[in-house]
Amino acid sequence: MSASRYSALALLRHALTRHRRWQPAWREPEPKRHYDVVIVGGGGHGLATAYYLAKNHGISNVAVVEKGWLGGGNTGRNTTIVRSNYLRDEAAQLYEFALKLWPGLSAELNFNVMFSARGVLNLGHTLQDMRDIERRVNANRLGGIDGEVLATARVQEMVPILNCSPNARYPILGASWQPSGGVARHDAVAWGFARGADALGVDLLQRTEVQGIRCGDGRVQGVETDRGFIGADKVACVTAGHSGVLAAMAGLRLPIESRPLQALVSEPLKPCLDTVVMSNAVHGYVSQSDKGDLVIGAGADGYNGYGQRGSFHVLAHALEAMCELFPSFSRVRMNRHWGGIVDICPDACPIIGETPVTGLYFNCGWGTGGFKATPGSGFVFADTLAHARPHPLAAPFALERFAKGALIDEHGAAGVAH
Ligand code: FAD
Ligand code: PYC
């Protein structure tokens, strides 16, 4: 029987048996009393950390504690843009390390994460935008990261539906182009890492909320959850959107603001856009999913908040700007809209490493741009946890940088939403 006929029959059988005999992709274990490492947060970064702890370091007495469902936070809410064209060497090299892991990730996890290197354009609308673009592309090329500066005519050739008229409200003076960037299927990334971690012995504890962090004698002892206390030698908080809340449980204050960030998808269309287009100046970005929907994102709200929605005027502004840039989009209907909560640091870079409480680690503050880093973040954080010292790529992102004044200003390249 052909593979496609077999899958069609299997699908029908599962539908008729109400999926009762559908083999689950991971176990639903009861929590153990103690783990070597408890990871709080079952988003892509937490799951990738668990996977690489088990795979690369043989540490599998690990639990991922997730208050909702795996990938239900920002991982399943983002617009899936992958790129590494950051300005500063420290950030660019971390994101480039992650970018290099994307093409092999489906094979690594034996799970199709649908990475598509369709390239990323960052538009420039003013002379200052173009100077910034040239500086960033030059810095990237010096660091071995691919990138080009494109003139308007070339941008128009690549994206015929873009309004490149000099009379446009947001005239396009050129763009940066990173061919190796692209998009991936966000929830498949969470599911792939989850299945891989589970197969290596990691316990994935969904619907389990961490309500307290127990510390004594300056070191972490475990987490209080709504299913009881779970002891741990190390606790790693990977709780984008709620990192400040988790830090407060251990008596710490992080230099982080939590803000809503919104996105939406349109009705499915025939193929019309085969690359990713971002415009930092108008706070909007778009790609077309394999299903045909336009995936559009807006800027972050100007206010802190924990509501997973966001202000209407921010969304309205992004859509107005999108229709100016792509006049044909004004006839497209939007299907769904949602928000996530992003943790933003003063320098628009993440915090990765141990806190003043021994054994308590954070990996957070990825702001509006952490999806692209998922495999790299998990890789370097697992290494940091396993060896109780920062991985060289993670070292510049230690919490101490705020006390030392060693900030890594990425507001320009983090772009859109900052
Ligand atoms: P999350 O996926 O948010 O996981 C954290 C988990 O912690 C959640 O599942 C949450 O339920 C859990 N948690 C919180 N508190 C507790 C608790 N007390 N107990 C147990 N569990 C808890 N990045 C890009 O690179 N490209 C993009 O195109 C992009 N677009 C974006 C668009 C939007 C609309 C949004 C919201 C974000 C976007 N991002 C993008 C950012 C990206 O989504 C995040 O940086 C990244 O997904 C963070 O992953 P994570 O695993 O750290 O966090
Ligand atoms: O970091 O590339 C990015 C991004 C795009 C949309 C939101 N964040």
What are φ and ψ of residue 175, in 5° steps? Answer: -165, 160
Q: Which atom of ligand 1 is nearest to the CA of 341?
A: 36
CA distance 241 to 418: 15
How would residue 236 be classed by pLDDT, with cut points 50, 70 and 90? Answer: very high
Coil, helix or strand for 7?
A: helix
Q: Which of 354, 357, 353, 36 is nearest to 217 (CA)?
A: 357
Q: How far is the CA of 30 from the CAs of 63, 70, 208, in angstroms?
A: 10, 16, 11
* Cβ of 60 less than 6 Å from ligand 2: no
Q: Which tens digits make up the pLDDT trace of 124-176? A: 999 999 999 999 999 999 999 999 999 999 999 999 999 999 999 999 999 99
* Average pLDDT, integer, range 95-120: 98
Q: Which tens digits make up the pLDDT trace of 251-294? A: 999 999 999 999 999 999 999 999 999 998 888 999 999 999 99
Q: How far is the centre of ligand 2, averaged over its atoms, from the C-alpha of 201 (Å)?
A: 33
Of the two residues 79 and 281, the one the predictor is more confident about is 79
Instruction: Please give the pLDDT value at position 91.
Output: 98
Instruction: Please give the pLDDT value at position 17.
Output: 84
Instruction: Please give the pLDDT value at position 161.
Output: 98
Which sign, positive or negative, has the C-alpha torsion 33, 225, 350, 124?
A: positive
Instruction: Please give the pLDDT value at position 416.
Output: 64
The lowest-confidence range among 19-28, 214-223, 342-351 is 19-28
Start-end of H helices in 143-281: 152-158, 186-199, 243-249
The residue contributing the CA closest to ligand 1 atom 12 is 41
Instruction: Please give the pLDDT value at position 2.
Output: 72
Would you say 109 and 103 are in contact if contact means Cβ atoms under 8 Å apart? Answer: no
Q: Which of 99, 119, 127 is nearest to 159 (CA)?
A: 119
* Average pLDDT, integer, range 100-114: 98
Whether the per-residue pLDDT at 48 is higher than 60: the answer is yes
Q: Which tens digits make up the pLDDT trace of 166-205? A: 999 999 999 999 999 999 999 999 999 999 999 999 999 9
Give the H/E segment covering residue 213. Answer: strand 210-216
Whether the per-residue pLDDT at 415 is higher than 70: the answer is no
Q: How far is the centre of ligand 2, averaged over its atoms, from the C-alpha of 81 (Å)?
A: 6
* Average pLDDT, integer, range 240-245: 96
- On the CB side of 297, how many CA atoms lie within 13 Å of its CA? 27
∠134-140-142 over CA atoms, to 5°? 105
* Cβ of 244 less than 6 Å from ligand 2: no
CA distance 126 to 137: 16
Concatenate the DSSP letters of all residues of 270-294 into one string: SS---SEEEETTTTEEEEE-TTS-E
CA distance 83 to 359: 32
Q: Which tens digits make up the pLDDT trace of 108-128? A: 999 999 999 999 999 999 999
Q: Which atom of ligand 1 is nearest to the CA of 69?
A: 9
Pair of tokens at residue 283: 């706070």
CA distance 311 to 3: 47
Instruction: Please give the pLDDT value at position 200.
Output: 98
CA distance 410 to 72: 27
CA distance 134 to 71: 36
Instruction: Please give the pLDDT value at position 12.
Output: 85
Q: Which tens digits make up the pLDDT trace of 292-310? A: 999 999 999 999 999 888 8
Q: Which amino acid is at 163?
A: N
How would residue 247 be classed by pLDDT, with cut points 50, 70 and 90? Answer: very high
Mutating to test ligand 2, I would choose from 279, 368, 418 the residue with most ligand atoms within 8 A of its C-beta, which is: 368
Instruction: Please give the pLDDT value at position 60.
Output: 98
Give the H/E segment covering residue 122. Answer: strand 120-124
Whether the per-residue pLDDT at 417 is higher than 60: the answer is no
The residue contributing the CA closest to ligand 2 atom 1 is 369
The residue contributing the CA closest to ligand 2 atom 4 is 369
Whether the per-residue pLDDT at 51 is higher than 90: the answer is yes
* Cβ of 86 less than 6 Å from ligand 2: no
Q: How far is the centre of ligand 1, averaged over its atoms, from the C-alpha of 379 (Å)?
A: 17
Instruction: Please give the pLDDT value at position 329.
Output: 97
∠383-385-389 over CA atoms, to 5°? 80
* Average pLDDT, integer, range 312-332: 95
The lowest-confidence range among 12-26, 63-77, 223-237 is 12-26
Q: Which tens digits make up the pLDDT trace of 352-369? A: 999 999 999 999 999 999
